[in-house]
Amino acid sequence: MSDEKIILTGVRPTGPLHIGHYCGALVNNVAIQNAGGYAHMYAMIADAQGLTDNFDDPEKVRRNVMEVALDMLAAGYDPTKTTMFIQSAVPELTELTFYYMNLVTVARLQRNPTVKGEIAQKEKFANGLPVGFLTYPISQASDITAFRANIVPAGDDQAPMIEQTNEIVHKFNSIYGEVLKPVKIVMPESSLAARLPGTDGNAKMSKSLGNCIYLKDSADEIAARVKSMFTDPKHLRVEDPGNTRDNPVFIYLSVFAKPEHFAAFLPEYANYEELAAHYERGGLGDVKVKKFLNSVLQETLKPIREKREMLARDTASVMEILRNGTERARAVAAETLADVKRAMRLNYFD
Ligand code: TRP
């Protein structure tokens, strides 16, 4: 077994991507892509997984495949370096899933903390849990092993999926012979960037809460969102000492504001630490800080939005990128599936 790096990332196309995705995943993945040193890099749009909790809204998933592809390309994914593909168009993945299902118990799936949390939250599952949703970690093991990926860059919520994938790998190899490779998760270094709170202070940015800033948002939409952001509710007068820790305006600044931004828009402060110290001491008003955050976000998101608008004028070319990537991905997955079936004694016509 060679130790060449094969990297796979995945994203569910259930909504356009927001700045939480951007600093938690896209920036990292593009840096990995551009650093090189790997044998292959794949970026999968996980529409089949997206359907496991959106099967009643197929148009939503279909529409967001294009939205997410535009977001990825605008953020710097380069299809000459990264194979971008659509999960459902690689049917080998579904076939692998069916074989892996034999290697996983229902109890094990029910213990998966990420799945468990999602089930508890979803009202639509209150009257019964679809088998497809419960088993999506198995399908994720197929996504990863089909491409012989040994590195999956993802947030900590994906760690249980990687753990389950490795259990499947070990069980498969111990029963049928050494075919599958174990995989490692690589998490973002900064835990703040890994999970950006919503503009309302909620722990998570989510479409249903309406607390997101999207990569496709116009300059006016960004400005309006920043203006109405939650801050420290106890910071009533400018003189009052403020809390920066649970304050999304400061959390965003700590992630996005670079020294160049201070030099250009708020030269009284050299960096984030100086600004935060003043707020905590008292004497710094929310309006001023929000104005600065708006400038930082406008500067950061403008080039992405412009590139996205350009790409969106020719969605046929974007579809062509996905079609080419999917063809290449399919060829690799077909090889793995053939290896798996041979090991499982299912290769009757070889
Ligand atoms: N579960 C991931 C998410 O919710 C998406 C995903 C599907 C994925 N298959 C994958 C991520 C394989 C990494 C590897 O965002």
Instruction: Look up tokens 């370096």; give the residue.
Output: 81
pLDDT above 90 covers what percent of the chain? Answer: 92
Q: How far apart are CA 224 and CA 69, in angstroms?
A: 26
Residue 208 has a pLDDT of 84
| pLDDT over 50 at 237, yes or no | yes
pLDDT-wise least confident of 3-7, 70-74, 192-196, 266-270: 192-196
Q: Which atom of ligand 1 is nearest to the CA of 46?
A: 7
139 CA to centre of ligand 1 in angstroms:
9
Residue 207 has a pLDDT of 83
Residue 246 confidence class, pLDDT cut points 50, 70, 90: very high
Q: Using one digit for the tens of pLDDT, what is the confidence trace for 42-84?
A: 999 999 999 999 999 999 999 999 999 999 999 999 999 999 9
11 CA to centre of ligand 1 in angstroms:
5
Ligand 1 site-directed mutation target among 140, 163, 187, most atoms within 8 Å of CB:
140
Q: Which atom of ligand 1 is nearest to the CA of 158?
A: 1
CA pseudo-torsion sign 132, 138, 141, 145: negative
| pLDDT over 70 at 174, yes or no | yes
Ligand 1 site-directed mutation target among 14, 17, 44, most atoms within 8 Å of CB:
44
Residue 188 has a pLDDT of 84
Q: Which domains does the chain have, with CATH numbers?
A: 6-196+315-343 (3.40.50.620), 219-309 (1.10.240.10)
What does pTM read for this prediction? Answer: 0.96
Beta carbon of 46 within 6 Å of any ligand 1 atom: yes
Residue 1 has a pLDDT of 44
Contacts of residue 121, defined as CB under 8 A and 6 or more positions apart, other chains included, come to: none
Residue 191 has a pLDDT of 73
Q: Which atom of ligand 1 is nearest to the CA of 49?
A: 7
Q: How far apart are CA 139 and CA 340, in angstroms?
A: 15
Provide the mean pLDDT of the chain.
Answer: 96
